[in-house]
Structure 1
Amino acid sequence: MNDSVQPDLATPPRFERIVHPEAIVDRGALNAALSALSGEGQDGVALRRAATAVLRDAMAQGRAEIERRLRANPSHGLETAAAYAYLTDAILVALIGFIVERVHPNHNPTAAERMTLIAVGGYGRGEMAPHSDVDIGVLTPWKQTPWSEQVIESTLYALWDLGLKVGHSSRSLDEMVRQAKGDVTVRTALVEGRYVWGDTALYAEAAQRFKTEVQEGTARTFIAEKLAERDARHKKLGDTRYVVEPNVKEGKGGLRDLHALFWIGKYAYNVRRAADLVPAGLLSAPELRKFNRAEDFLWAVRCHLHLITGRAEERLTFDVQTEIATRMRYSDRVGKSRVERFMQYYFLQAKRVGDLTGMFLSHLDETYAARGSRFGFPRLRRRPRRLHGFVLDRGRLALPKDDFFAEDPVRLIEIFALADLHGLEIHPLAMRAASRDARLAAQVRSHPRANQLFLDVLTSPRDPELVLRWMNECGVFGRFIPDFGRIVAQMQFDMYHHYTVDEHTIRMIGLLSQVERGICREEHPLATALFGGIVQRRALFVAVLCHDIAKGRGGDHSILGAEVAERLCPRLGLTPAETETVAWLVRYHLLMSATAFKRDLSDFKTILDFTSIVQSPQRLRMLLVLTVVDIRAVGPGTWNGWKRQLLTTLFETAEEVLRLGHKQRGRDERIAEKQETLRRTLGWDKDTLAAYVRHLPPAYWIAEPDDVIAANARMVDQSGDTRLTIDTSVDEDRGATLVTVHAADHPGLFYRIAGAIHAAGGNIIDARIHTTRTGMALDNFLVQNPLGGPFDEAGQLQRLKTAIADALANRMKLNDRLAAKPLSRPRAEAFPIEPNVLIDNAASNRFTVIEVNARDRPALLHHLAQALFQSKVTLHSAHVATYGERAVDTFYVTDLTGDRITGQLRLKSLERRMLDAAAGKEFAGFV
């Protein structure tokens, strides 16, 4: 606390922002209304309830006025937050004054009956969101007296009756000191303690005791505890400020980080308002402006968020982002929607909060950390020498003078190259200077040495992700590579991507480096094994940098990104051959995943079409590695064993074609090899194998992997003449459960099975359908639970089997069961997705390929399969891919005679039915 108590008794600094506070609440009129309440014949409870009614009306009117002001000035976050705290003050003071005077009057209180009411936490700072808790504390000289207990109890009851969420404590001064010493949370709350009502001398004594008995001499400990608390909070919420559904209050770069700076400043330097951080030397004047701008914006977002959701919601989810963007008057631009522009500004503010945190910690480091370890910075190897004119300050790269970058802007790139090469961290004050002088990087974009240094960092065999992130944080990255600067803080408004475009790209570079260094060998054995054979290593790293660099430009980012790469690569010093490879990789960086996840890899036309674009084994290797790290860098849970298997299958099959030329290895040879593998696995003799093989078409042997073939054979062999057998087995490698149904084939079998699997809580990620020569269906499904893992509990598996059996026996109304299931992803409704159906007769020599793009929703596959049944087509395989809120389901079909569908009227009818199913229209008459 400050040496003088008086400032804490004065009007809180935040309240100075409020224009015409009397329009929010007229304190005089409120007190007059309470005084006018008749007390004759009423007990204390009745009086309190009468007062609560008056206060409720005043509070409702005040809240309405504050919301009106926010809608009129939607970016005035700090004024809004202060207004809510001011209104709460008025309600509290009027309430407790009424209780002391009318409900529990005490005209001659003793010294022990003195009390003071303080606001703590954010409320103490003078900031509240619409649904923030009211955090208060009551201080008494010694143990509470019966009278003070009555006053406190009545006050709390009234606040609860008003619908407020109250965080409260009642302490004697000794208890306050003891608990503050032992609990950093209590100490933090009291740091922002503010007088609201009561005995001013008691408050002064409390302030003095807190300062002398708790605060003095403990600043270093308090700072360390707050930074550890901050780090734990960041780790819990993902440790990045670039998650696309950020937590406005607790997330990295959110309000809590700004609050932490103020807490530390107040505790260590006795500042009373943010402006006091400048004379204290903790922030410069330009940094204070950034502090205020970020705080104002974040508070505005938080207040809008509370008002829209009607609760204390702190997570900026997709379903509210569009509404807040509209309220804050963002508009669409070419290539970028209003919500994407709003969120990009949000992330830029979060980045500024991170910059301010770094600057703030650098000052604390100089002041407090000389006697021990530094605050907030990683411990890397230290070199006790000078490097290329830079100096080393306690093992960190520092500047010999303030204008060192201005003298030679190439040093803006060189400092990061030296940090990478020597494993050094960069001094915070050097980072501050780099941020200040980042604009100078534009002067050396064509400088050969600067470009070589940047390429050295990008392709570093050490840890390029760390240094590139530093470069991005201070703004040098985007200034030096302006195309990258356009995607800094740019969100991707979908439920698939977890990070902003720049964060996704930097993470992807880090993953590529980890694959090269063998760190991901267990999870990505194929990519790790292939990396050593990649000749154009530099091209691969540059391709990762450029793969999403053209997002947000209003066109196909792959094509536009290839054009960027053709301009950028020569500047970075890449050869024409490397430039061609980079441009090709960027142009086709989605080709491998689209082919693996949306197409039937057992159809050889799929492989030939893929290899006709790839054309070389070297490109194939690079594309596989690029695809793997791209999927991994999307976010947690996007990579799984099923995707690994599909990509591996595509790679191995395509590599065989590229090595041997466009000549398919004998189909009969491949089938014979699989059949012999099956015979050895099960220990069958040749006659048993021959009898089994006679029942299955050649396509079955091509489509299924060896382990599934063996599992199918065991089930069929054991089922004998049974007309329905259902088998489940957990497949940890694929991250799913294999569900096999062996049943008498009949029209509509697939859609009934698909509906039953969903009714049991499963999501189908792949399906392969086969009909034996004996009229039996042998269908294999890969199924995951709603969390993206395999069904592995006995109860789940039994429900799955029972649901399939009931559906096939027509013992349940599937549509009724499915309609009763709750929507699993209501946030998907925030994304406008127009259903689209593409019918392609050129993608396969044997089948008509139907690709459906639609919003992912419960039982989508069931309804699409139902539409195929209604259209009287035969389904041969289904391939399911989900990208956040978007589902892409692909079906390989023929007409009932086994031929591709070619008639225009038939194709138009089929397209219309599939569009209706994708849009969620019901099919009457089908169950």
Structure 2
Amino acid sequence: MTATKPSPVHEIARRKALIAAVRERARTMFEAGTPGIQIAAAICSGIEDVLLSLIEETLESFGDRRDFVAKQGAIVAIGGTGRGELAPYSDIDLLFLHNATNAADFDEFVPRFVQMCWDSGIQLGHAVRDVNTCIALSRRDPQIATALIESRHLWGNEKLTQTLIHQFRSRVVNRRKRKFIEDCLRARSEGWSAEGPLAQELEPDVKASAGGLRDLHLIRWVAYARYGIKDIDSLRLQGVLSKSDATRLKDAWEFLTRLRIDLHLSTNREQDRLTRDEQLRITRERGFTETAEQRPVERFMQEYFHHSSELATIAQRFASLQRRRSLAQKARDMLMGHRAEGYLYVTPDQITVADRHLPRICASLESMLHVYRSSALYDLPLSPQVREAIKQAVPKLEPVVSKESARLFMDILRCVRSLGPTLRSMFNTGLIDLVIPDVAHIRNLLQFNQYHHFTVDEHTLRAIETVTGYETDDTPIGAAYRAIRHKELLHLAVFLHDLGKGFETDHCIVGEEIALRIGTRLMLPEYQVEQLALLVRRHLEMADVAWRRDITDPALVLNFSRDIGSPDTLRMLYVLTAADVTSVGPGTWTHWKAGLLAELFDRCLVILSGKRYSFHEAERIRTVKQDVLSILSHTAPREHLPQWIDSQLGGFSSYYLTTTSPKQIAADLQIIEKLSPTAIEVVPSWSAETGTSEYRIITRNPLATTGCFYKMCGVLTAKRLAILSADINTTADGVVVDSYLVIDTDYGSEPPPSRFEEIAETFRDVLQGKVTVESLFIRNRRFGSERMQTVSDLPTRVQIDNESSDTRTIIDCFAHDRPGLLFTIARALFELNLSTDLAKISTHFDQVVDIFYVQELDGSKVRTPERIRQLKERLEQTLRHFEQHSHKQFLNGK
């Protein structure tokens, strides 16, 4: 009886089971603690076994022609497959190599085999080429060339594979070795800084990011071209790698390989990005514990960055040392270069030192700082050989700073254009640690939150690069920077400002202690040591005042200015603040922040020096009134218009007049002029650029103005609008001009006119008392969805400031960004019988800081300690309950 042939569906399932078995074996090995490199090799071996079995199955359909298929071509493993290292869900890189003159059978075989691979669940990265095509393409495309470095025969005509390997080595590498190495470096070094790759990306790709596995591959590529060998041990035995570098590379290789396998097994797909969620999972599974200074995830990521930064630095240094200068470069160096200091040779693109002089420059801290000072003054990097010699010498020296060393270091800090690259190089060689030993603490130090984009050390180096960039900046910050007399002191403050992070005590306090110690260590005058300590201690304060306080309050500005003490210190703090925020990451510095910070600087400068950076507030308000007059003269001309504008704007606060555009003020006045005693005007608008809607509510209705902030937040929340900011203004004669910037989560783009009218009508109904907020919530049971997963475990917090303002109490609420938060706080303030005069909303990814300026209902300031304690306890209780329970009522399906 003839056996029944299995169905195609059954065959596909059987083949998929083969791949699943390979992955399951990898999972078993992983859970048993097998080293990652062994698992990667086992996966590759298992996949190859499956491939060979699929080849045999494919050949069955060729019958007597199967021998012709094997003679006409070869299957070559390339890339990671050729290297013998695969993660569970890696693509399988294959080259189908054929004989260009007679390959009809092989050409027929390839698509059948490829289809069988895809049906089996194997993700192929493949190409079909002959030898000459491979050679031609690899000479033009570094990506193809680097993949062919790992060529390994898998099946078919082995002689054809060997021909490719020989031709590739001869025609692509040996005949053009220097260009080949440059091509490899160029292919890998996209995104590297002048001093090397950035290995401190906070959600790194363990394969492709700087400091990832690809940097190990770079070492293999360059070593293959230069020495004809690829593995770490062979490079060490030939003296190309030091024993310590070889050990660090092997440690990083194992750590990253096992981590990559972990990511693939966790997600059941090709996942090389170490996301924050994965960081938290791996931290738990690997048993990292919390310390007084660091959270568990921060300890895990510091271990990651230790390996990645070591790998990135070694790879970049190795690549730099293997570069050979061309004959043209050498000729140019001889013609245009010159000697300096007796032993330095300055060329158009670097400073180098003859090998016989290297021991001399590496003999002491002073001699190495002397070379770096020359590098900074000439604005040229040290050659790779000089940097390598310094790096090797640093561990042998004691971290003792002499008077001469201190002078040389401060000279380096006086350089502007070259300071960023110079300090980064000193950081990479470890020389900076001899001068400022506290730097060692922040290497690879991570703050796990959604606000910071880089490790503390990378943020610090970027802050230096940012601050020196202000030299040519045509902004108030640039003007302030250029006016600073002792820029070296500012540069030192920038470098020290975050060295206090990673301790149990507040980093500003620890940083102040470090600044006092380092200032004394560098033998600065006492007044500069005190100035340095003040800048580090208060480096967060100016931003805090500018963005979370009413900077039109004279008492607030006076007290802040008094604490800073001098115009020069104020300039330094202003520039330090801007550089610090800018260097946190993309998008953290905005036009709005720049404007408020410049305004605060302006106000403080007139107190400390009698001069404004720009001009007096009265003059600025007069300019605003003139602009408004110009606008209204064209749109609504009338008799006595200037006097009418003066009388109307006289009732507005300085805050409104200096933070609202003249065009918007003019539009508000046109509405106010026609506003009846009971009318409630709602003006919606849409911004395609930001994807946000604005609702501007203007009314003088006494019924509407009672508890209006709470009611308006209730309307927006009940209608599923995510509130991004709230701008609340009330004139002296009781006209409310409030603005809410929102995202309408019901619409992916601009809401239709009916939606705007629906929201506007609801505002009117609620403010006129026709509908209560509570009934509105019942009617709209489907609220918003949680916009982002909360990854920070920072606690909710309430701070009450009763000193900064003479007329109002300031309440700061720190919480996680969830739908319904602002409404919940506004309702609590309303129930506490407080009138909200000003609200400033600031969101940093999943963290929200809401600031409220409040008064008692009779217009007086909150006075008694008992009342302040009542407010704090009630608001803290509200936030805790919201975070744990009540926020769920604002989510879909809750």
Same-fold call, TM > 0.5?
yes
Query: Quick one: distance in 2 between partners of 1:737 and 1:577?
Result: 51
1:228 to 186, 190, 194: 186
**Cα drift, residue 568 of structure 1:** 0.9
**Cα drift, residue 784 of structure 1:** 8.9
Amino acid at match of 2:881: D
Q: What is the match of residue 592 of structure 1?
A: 542
Aligned partner of residue 277 in structure 1, secondary structure: helix
Aligned partner of residue 167 in structure 1, secondary structure: strand
Whether the 8 Å contact between 2:89 and 2:264 is mirrored in structure 1 is: yes
Query: Quick one: distance in 2 between partners of 1:925 and 1:323?
Result: 28
Query: Quick one: distance in 2 between partners of 1:906 and 1:408?
Result: 61
Q: What is the match of residue 750 of structure 1?
A: 709
Q: What is the match of residue 375 of structure 2?
A: 419
Whether the 8 Å contact between 1:99 and 1:105 is mirrored in structure 2 is: no
Q: What is the match of residue 807 of structure 2?
A: 846
Task: Decide whether aligned partners of structure 1 residues 389 and 140 sit closer, same or farther in structure 2, where only a CA change above 3 A counts.
Answer: closer
Query: Quick one: distance in 1 between partners of 2:598 and 2:335?
Result: 39
Tell which has more relative contact order, 1 or 2 (C-alpha 8 A, sep 6+).
Answer: 1
Whether the 8 Å contact between 1:837 and 1:852 is mirrored in structure 2 is: yes
**Cα drift, residue 738 of structure 1:** 7.4
Task: Decide whether aligned partners of structure 1 residues 397 and 797 sit closer, same or farther in structure 2, where only a CA change above 3 A counts.
Answer: farther
Amino acid at match of 2:798: V
Query: Quick one: distance in 1 between partners of 2:889 and 2:379?
Result: 68
- Pairing of 1:491-530 with structure 2 (within 5 A): 491-515=446-470, 517=471, 519-521=472-474, 525-530=475-480
Greater CA drift, 643-652 or 213-222: 213-222
1:55 to 18, 40, 50: 18
**Cα drift, residue 454 of structure 1:** 1.3
Query: Quick one: distance in 1 between partners of 2:754 and 2:490?
Result: 47
Q: What is the match of residue 395 of structure 2?
A: 439
**Cα drift, residue 562 of structure 1:** 0.8
Task: Decide whether aligned partners of structure 1 residues 298 and 178 sit closer, same or farther in structure 2, where only a CA change above 3 A counts.
Answer: same
Contiguous gaps of at least 5 residues in structure 2:
767-774
Aligned partner of residue 333 in structure 1, secondary structure: coil
Query: Does residue 867 of structure 2 align to residue 909 of structure 1?
Result: no
Whether the 8 Å contact between 1:760 and 1:800 is mirrored in structure 2 is: no
2:653 to 687, 696, 700: 700
**Cα drift, residue 163 of structure 1:** 2.7
Task: Decide whether aligned partners of structure 1 residues 155 and 224 sit closer, same or farther in structure 2, where only a CA change above 3 A counts.
Answer: same
1:356 to 306, 314, 326: 314
Query: Does residue 567 of structure 2 align to residue 624 of structure 1?
Result: no
Query: Does residue 54 of structure 2 align to residue 95 of structure 1?
Result: yes
Q: What is the match of residue 467 of structure 1?
A: 422
Amino acid at match of 1:139: L
Q: What is the match of residue 865 of structure 1?
A: 826
Task: Decide whether aligned partners of structure 1 residues 359 and 479 sit closer, same or farther in structure 2, where only a CA change above 3 A counts.
Answer: same
Q: What is the match of residue 715 of structure 1?
A: 668
- Pairing of 1:279-290 with structure 2 (within 5 A): 282-290=240-248
Task: Decide whether aligned partners of structure 1 residues 655 and 768 sit closer, same or farther in structure 2, where only a CA change above 3 A counts.
Answer: farther
1:397 to 352, 369, 372: 352
Q: What is the match of residue 769 of structure 2?
A: none
- Pairing of 1:659-698 with structure 2 (within 5 A): 659=609, 678-679=628-629, 682-683=632-633, 687-688=640-641, 698=651
2:5 to 42, 54, 57: 42
**Cα drift, residue 352 of structure 1:** 2.2
Greater CA drift, 618-627 or 746-755: 746-755
Query: Quick one: distance in 1 between partners of 2:265 and 2:16?
Result: 23
**Cα drift, residue 888 of structure 1:** 1.0
Task: Decide whether aligned partners of structure 1 residues 91 and 676 sit closer, same or farther in structure 2, where only a CA change above 3 A counts.
Answer: closer
**Cα drift, residue 692 of structure 1:** 5.9
Whether the 8 Å contact between 1:358 and 1:428 is mirrored in structure 2 is: no
Cα deviations by residue, 1:603-624 (Å, 9 ceiling, x for unpaired)? 3443244234223333322221
Task: Decide whether aligned partners of structure 1 residues 291 and 422 sit closer, same or farther in structure 2, where only a CA change above 3 A counts.
Answer: same
Query: Quick one: distance in 2 between partners of 1:762 and 1:46?
Result: 49
Whether the 8 Å contact between 2:222 and 2:319 is mirrored in structure 1 is: no
Q: What is the match of residue 507 of structure 2?
A: 557
Whether the 8 Å contact between 1:854 and 1:919 is mirrored in structure 2 is: no
**Cα drift, residue 112 of structure 1:** 7.0
Normalised by the size of structure 1, how large is the TM-score?
A: 0.83
Query: Does residue 562 of structure 2 align to residue 602 of structure 1?
Result: no
Q: What is the match of residue 898 of structure 1?
A: 859
1:185 to 140, 143, 158: 143
Amino acid at match of 1:887: V
Whether the 8 Å contact between 1:592 and 1:627 is mirrored in structure 2 is: yes
1:833 to 794, 799, 804: 794
Aligned partner of residue 338 in structure 2, secondary structure: coil
Task: Decide whether aligned partners of structure 1 residues 327 and 103 sit closer, same or farther in structure 2, where only a CA change above 3 A counts.
Answer: farther
Whether the 8 Å contact between 2:784 and 2:890 is mirrored in structure 1 is: no
Whether the 8 Å contact between 1:140 and 1:171 is mirrored in structure 2 is: yes
Greater CA drift, 591-600 or 850-859: 850-859
Amino acid at match of 2:298: E
1:316 to 274, 282, 300: 274
Q: What is the match of residue 170 of structure 1?
A: 128
Task: Decide whether aligned partners of structure 1 residues 802 and 46 sit closer, same or farther in structure 2, where only a CA change above 3 A counts.
Answer: closer
Aligned partner of residue 232 in structure 1, secondary structure: coil
Q: What is the match of residue 14 of structure 1?
A: none
Q: What is the match of residue 410 of structure 1?
A: 366
**Cα drift, residue 879 of structure 1:** 1.0
Whether the 8 Å contact between 1:494 and 1:831 is mirrored in structure 2 is: yes
**Cα drift, residue 504 of structure 1:** 1.6
Cα deviations by residue, 1:468-493 (Å, 9 ceiling, x for unpaired)? 01111111112331111211221222
Query: Does residue 436 of structure 2 align to residue 481 of structure 1?
Result: yes
Whether the 8 Å contact between 2:692 and 2:742 is mirrored in structure 1 is: yes
Query: Quick one: distance in 1 between partners of 2:480 and 2:660?
Result: 25
Query: Quick one: distance in 2 between partners of 1:322 and 1:193?
Result: 38
Query: Quick one: distance in 2 between partners of 1:471 and 1:926?
Result: 51
- Pairing of 1:573-588 with structure 2 (within 5 A): 573-588=523-538
Whether the 8 Å contact between 2:652 and 2:732 is mirrored in structure 1 is: no
- Pairing of 1:735-814 with structure 2 (within 5 A): 740-743=696-699, 744=701, 745-747=704-706, 749-751=708-710, 753-754=712-713, 764-765=724-725, 767-770=727-730, 773=733, 776-781=735-740, 795=750, 801-802=756-757, 804-809=759-764
Greater CA drift, 86-95 or 564-573: 86-95
Task: Decide whether aligned partners of structure 1 residues 402 and 601 sit closer, same or farther in structure 2, where only a CA change above 3 A counts.
Answer: closer
2:596 to 646, 654, 664: 646
Contiguous gaps of at least 5 residues in structure 1:
1-37
Cα deviations by residue, 1:345-389 (Å, 9 ceiling, x for unpaired)? 3223233223323432344323xx332459xxx999974114254
Whether the 8 Å contact between 1:66 and 1:84 is mirrored in structure 2 is: no
Aligned partner of residue 339 in structure 2, secondary structure: coil
Aligned partner of residue 386 in structure 2, secondary structure: helix
Whether the 8 Å contact between 2:44 and 2:85 is mirrored in structure 1 is: yes
Whether the 8 Å contact between 1:562 and 1:583 is mirrored in structure 2 is: yes
Aligned partner of residue 446 in structure 2, secondary structure: coil
Task: Decide whether aligned partners of structure 1 residues 98 and 508 sit closer, same or farther in structure 2, where only a CA change above 3 A counts.
Answer: same
Amino acid at match of 1:479: L
Cα deviations by residue, 1:770-812 (Å, 9 ceiling, x for unpaired)? 2563x642114567999xxxx9x99479699556425415699
Query: Quick one: distance in 2 between partners of 1:219 and 1:459?
Result: 41
Whether the 8 Å contact between 2:211 and 2:312 is mirrored in structure 1 is: yes
Q: What is the match of residue 816 of structure 2?
A: 855
How many residues align? The count is 861
Aligned partner of residue 356 in structure 2, secondary structure: coil
Amino acid at match of 1:825: M
Query: Quick one: distance in 2 between partners of 1:103 and 1:441?
Result: 72
Coordinate RMSD, CA, aligned: 4.1
